[in-house]
Amino acid sequence: MGKGMIYIYTGDGRGKSPAALGRAVQAAAEGQAVVIIQFLKGKGLSDSEFIRRMEPEIKLFHFEKSDENYAELPDEKKKEEIRNIRNGINFARKVLMTGECDLLILDEVLGLIEKDIITVDDLKALIECHGETNVILTGISLKDEICMLADEVSKIETVKFKVWE
């Protein structure tokens, strides 16, 4: 087997997480094991019956305890969630070190840098141990140092937005 690839979905447009989920479904359909770890999304997809039906091929993890989005939390709750988020980063490291999956998606991990929850060096150290595992990182803003580590970067922008009725 070869070295895994690093993919980044970034930009201020809508659709980064759905694009990553699409890749997860595609990988699972090919018989690959997928782990998704979501950050900064409140409950995110953690209560989704649809996602649960995809187990064991696609496993979803969420370490934050609050139902609210991180940005909406009071400072004291944010401190607690930072500890939970760091547990999620440590779990991601374990997944990569053990080769537990073929594809690891770190959904909204780039936002952790923007919010000073982790550093660029923390993320670089994490993805440098990916070995044969493909990794997808998502988030709105992308630092040049992280961009340089990627094999492929997709920038998603919204050209027009209309609410469905």
- Residue 15's contacts (CB-CB under 8 Å, 6 or more residues apart) are 156
Domains and CATH numbers, the chain: 19-155 (3.40.50.300)
Q: In this model, does residue 53 exceed pLDDT 70? A: yes
Nearest to 105, CA basis, from 1, 2, 4: 4
Beta bridge partners of 137: 8, 106
Q: What's the pLDDT tens digit per position in 59-94?
A: 999 888 887 778 788 889 999 999 999 999 999 999
Higher pLDDT, 123 or 54: 123
pTM of the model: 0.90
Across the chain, what does the average pLDDT equal?
Answer: 90
